[in-house]
Amino acid sequence: MSTVPRSEPVLEIRDLHVAYATDRGMLGAVDGVDLAVAAGESLGVVGESGCGKSTIGRSLLGLLPAGATMSGSVRLRGEELVGISDTRMRQVRGGELGLVFQEPMTRLDPLMRVSDHFLEALRAHDPDISKDDAFERARTALVSVGIPPTRARNYPHEFSGGMRQRIMIALTLVLHPAVIIADEPTTALDVVVEAQILDLLDMLRRDHELGLVLITHNLGIVAETCDRVAVMYAGRIVEEGPVAEVFADPKHPYTQGLLGSVISVDTTKLRSIGGAPPDLVDPPSGCRFRPRCPKAFDLCPRIDPPAYAVGADHRAACLLYSPDVTGGPGGSESPVEVGS
């Protein structure tokens, strides 16, 4: 893991809300999320399945399904993306915001040569680019991810899974984006290839001063790759801060539970978080984690906790850290624990 100094964000998200229409009503997949990523910085977004991680990535790129609603502010290099025209969003998508998908074979056309994928992507943003120029840029991008340019004329099925993911990364890089969103980019890979892909993303981020948003459920990947981590639960960020600080001293009970569930060579007893994430059509009142929280107390169902500062650059959305309520630092009593 490398660390970059905090600077002006290249991507800034404020009060982002995304909801999907369902037969039972609107499902709030993302509810009031604030995040920022600087140039050259990597941010890991972690949490259980269904917490809203991938929805954030797709909403930034304007890839939400019909019937979804989105509000709030997303600024890329100072430009507001929420509400922009479809024409401008097509320019931003790929050209300024890149996306690396989870499974490359679902994104690569088996009937097209690799070089034709690059030609298609480049001409979508620059219709006047010549075929020779496009192929030269493709070869340069492929070399940067460790693929010999002689293989540009091959078809996707002629590559291994790890090589196909390298092609996807090269397709993203060839358009020179400011930020790359990598959504579970190593899920289908074995651990050796996974390490190679993560090292590649980290090297490219540093060499090109890219902002990187890494969406994953794997805490180990975040620990090794990211500068900062944002922990999501039920559509909200419950804890955010520098990776080293959050992992060494997690503040939110959910983060503590996630880290406590990680298996290592020293594990002698399996641990898990009891219960299940809430129904986001009708989420619980107050703190959304409190039905599963071993530290919940009487105010948790009544107060929706904001993010409290728990360090110089570390915040947690938990009433345990409020100076104004019972049980918080400076409060009059300790919280009453319920659960185990």
The domains located in the chain, with CATH, are 8-96+180-192+203-263+270-285 (3.40.50.300), 101-176 (no CATH)
- In the prediction, which pLDDT does 161 show? 87
- In the prediction, which pLDDT does 7 show? 67
What's at 317, amino acid-wise?
A
Separation between Cα atoms, residue 334 and residue 164, nearest integer Å: 54
Q: Is the dihedral of CA 321, 327, 329, 331 positive or negative?
A: positive
Enumerate long-range contacts of 2-6, CB under 8 Å, 24 or more apart: 2/42, 2/202, 2/206, 2/227, 3/227, 3/242, 3/244, 4/38, 4/40, 4/41, 4/227, 6/38, 6/41, 6/313
- In the prediction, which pLDDT does 330 show? 40
Task: State the pTM of this model.
Answer: 0.88
- In the prediction, which pLDDT does 152 show? 92
Separation between Cα atoms, residue 178 and residue 307, nearest integer Å: 28
Separation between Cα atoms, residue 301 and residue 267, nearest integer Å: 34
Separation between Cα atoms, residue 20 and residue 12, nearest integer Å: 23
Residues whose CB is less than 8 angstroms from the CB of residue 134 and which lie 6 or more positions away in sequence, other chains included: 118, 119, 122, 123
- In the prediction, which pLDDT does 1 show? 47
20-35: per-residue pLDDT in tens? 999 999 999 999 999 9
Q: Which stretches of the chain score pLDDT less than 50?
A: 1-5, 327-340
What percentage of the chain carries pLDDT values higher than 90? 66
- In the prediction, which pLDDT does 196 show? 87
Rounded to whole angstroms, what are the CA distances from 257 to 225, 246, 254, 334?
Answer: 21, 13, 5, 20
- In the prediction, which pLDDT does 103 show? 77
- In the prediction, which pLDDT does 6 show? 56
314-324: per-residue pLDDT in tens? 999 999 999 87
